Amino acid sequence: MQIILRGTAAGYEAEHTARIFFPGAEKAPQVPAAGDFVLAVSHAQTDFVLLRRGGGLRWRSALRAPGADAEYALCSLLYSLLKEQTGQQPPWGMMTGVRPVRIIHDLRAMGATEQQVEDRFLRHFACSPQKFALAREIADRQRPLLDAADPMDCSVYAGIPFCPTRCSYCSFVSRTVGDKATQALVQPYVDALCRELTEIRALADRCGLRIRTFYIGGGTPTSLSAAQLEQLMGHIAATFDLGGLAEYTVEAGRPDCTDAEKLRILKQYGATRISINPQTFSDQVLRNIGRRHTAQDIIDCFAAARAAGHDNINMDLIAGLPGDTVEGFAGSLEQAVALDPENITVHTLTLKRASNLVVEHRAADYDDVAAMLERCTLLQRAGYAPYYLYRQKGTLQNLENIGWSKPGRECLYNIYIMEEVHTILSAGAGGSTKLVIPGKRHGKIERIFNFKYPTEYIDRFAEILDRKRRVEDFYEHYAAQKAGQP
Ligand code: SF4
């Protein structure tokens, strides 16, 4: 399937509206002589959309009402044609944004009534009542945290771009630690990361920022050797005031590189929350995605984490993995619940172009992912509640990712980053520092990017520190504004 766009209002939104129905569709400059395509054309006062599929042609055109939003009018026309012709009922309707909960927060902040919020979801986006109720429940649960946001709060993220093996669905710039070239990179990388974290602490102090949460993610942080992990966590403990943190998460991630010694190090150096991510409890599905551990390894790793004193553990599951079934996924949910972690995060598989899954298995057959997510009612019955939600482009059936937690065990960092509550200072390859002044709708947000690849990060480290100076400029500007200076 190809997507062809014509006219000023036919842009990003129309392209992604087509992908709600045809996730792998590629944008093309010209109408192809053969094959399937979607065409969306916006003229000065009219819109025209056309679908050619399996040799058949279907189209619609409409006169735009005076003053109507041209982009929305074109997308609505396209959505109605594709819905009719595919028979699909997209649960999030024609919403293409990735943060539905943020829309509710923003509308409320602008003074919208609850009826107006509902109309936005059900009429404007044609979202299902169930998805709207879910987003609203999460917005309500997050409200006290957002109300308590202080403009001078921030979080720190440190990224480890290494993993034991590459999962087939991964598009992340993660290198496999087993190969020799990568092994040679890991120690210089950890040294540079520690230096950047020292600079981040100094920067936070100079700007008057209070660090609320710390997050070490990846990749897989426990793919470092025990000595490297101890070096990193020891450095963090010596550099930052861990006692002042509300939360300190480390993604232990995978059981094939997480042992009792590393779990002890995480605990000893102050981690208050860890992730052990099965993705599935089916050995066959684990093999399908390129994991070299078994479901029993996950269970053993979880027991070792509890034995090491970790009392706040998250487990990630993915709905829609190749070879999984609705019953198989329900079995994974049951297994996770039986272990009784404090958080369970349920992702829907996203097909990213850079992943092996897309490259090698384009025609893979996925079971009914929506039916898998419906089984999450099991989590509610087990005492978990949804507390954060986001969507990604290319997710199967245009579904969502949801963090579930036991009461009071919500991951603050996940809410802070997803709802853009405060600044995140990021260290490491691929790190994206996000500078946020909360309190106003569309408050100022700026981004500073680190180099993507570990080699660039190490070789051009001085440039990384140079870019971070913009953090100070940002807060100086904010302080001047607050003081009423131009
Ligand atoms: S553990 Fe995560 S980052 Fe590493 S390869 Fe798998 S999906 Fe990618």
Average pLDDT value for residue range 151-171: 90
How confident is the model at residue 359, as a pLDDT? 43
Query: Is the pLDDT assigned to residue 303 strictly greater than 70?
Result: yes
Residue with tokens 């720190």: 156
pLDDT digits (tens, 9 = 90+) for 385-426: 999 999 987 777 788 999 999 999 999 999 999 988 899 999
Number of neighbouring beta carbons within 10 Å of residue 187: 14
**Alpha-carbon torsion 123, 124, 127, 131, what sign?**
negative
pLDDT digits (tens, 9 = 90+) for 237-285: 999 999 999 999 999 988 999 999 999 999 999 999 999 999 999 999 9
Is there a contact between 386 and 344 (Cβ–Cβ < 8 Å)?
A: no
Checking 400-403 for CB contacts under 8 A at 24+ apart, the result is 400/92, 400/100, 400/131, 400/348, 400/373, 401/345, 401/346, 401/347, 401/348, 402/134, 402/138, 402/345, 402/346, 402/376, 403/314, 403/343, 403/345
How confident is the model at residue 24, as a pLDDT? 76
Q: Which residue has the higher pLDDT, 37 or 322?
A: 37
Average pLDDT value for residue range 160-187: 83
Nearest CA to ligand 1 atom 8: 170
Q: Which residue has the higher pLDDT, 355 or 475?
A: 475
pLDDT band at 439 (very low <50, low <70, confident <90, very high): low
Tell me the chain's radius of gyration from C-alpha atoms: 23
pLDDT digits (tens, 9 = 90+) for 226-236: 999 999 999 99
Query: Is the pLDDT assigned to residue 440 strictly greater than 70?
Result: no
Nearest CA to ligand 1 atom 3: 219
pLDDT band at 361 (very low <50, low <70, confident <90, very high): very low
Which atom number of ligand 1 is nearest to the Cα of residue 165? Answer: 5
Nearest CA to ligand 1 atom 5: 166
CA of 218 to the centre of ligand 1 (A): 8
Percent above pLDDT 90 for the chain:
71
How confident is the model at residue 485, as a pLDDT? 62
CA of 122 to the centre of ligand 1 (A): 36
Average pLDDT value for residue range 124-147: 95
Which domains can be identified in the chain, with CATH numbers?
Answer: 2-86 (3.30.160), 100-145 (no CATH), 149-473 (3.80.30.20)
Binding-site residues, ligand 1, Cβ < 6 A: 163, 166-167, 170, 172, 174, 218-220, 253-254
Which atom number of ligand 1 is nearest to the Cα of residue 219? Answer: 3
Which atom number of ligand 1 is nearest to the Cα of residue 290? Answer: 6
CA of 173 to the centre of ligand 1 (A): 9
Which atom number of ligand 1 is nearest to the Cα of residue 166? Answer: 5
CB under 8 Å to 484, separation ≥6 — which residues? none
CA of 164 to the centre of ligand 1 (A): 9
Average pLDDT value for residue range 60-80: 94
Average pLDDT value for residue range 45-56: 93
How confident is the model at residue 98, as a pLDDT? 82
Query: Is the pLDDT assigned to residue 362 strictly greater than 60?
Result: no
Which atom number of ligand 1 is nearest to the Cα of residue 171? Answer: 8
Distance CA 83, CA 81 (A): 6
- Averaged pLDDT score across all residues of the chain: 91
Which atom number of ligand 1 is nearest to the Cα of residue 169? Answer: 7
pLDDT band at 22 (very low <50, low <70, confident <90, very high): confident
How confident is the model at residue 167, as a pLDDT? 84
How confident is the model at residue 334, as a pLDDT? 97
Nearest CA to ligand 1 atom 2: 219
Query: Is the pLDDT assigned to residue 483 strictly greater than 60?
Result: yes
Is there a contact between 74 and 47 (Cβ–Cβ < 8 Å)?
A: yes
Q: Which of 160, 166, 171 to mutate to test the pocket of ligand 1 (most atoms within 8 A of CB)?
A: 166
Average pLDDT value for residue range 192-204: 97
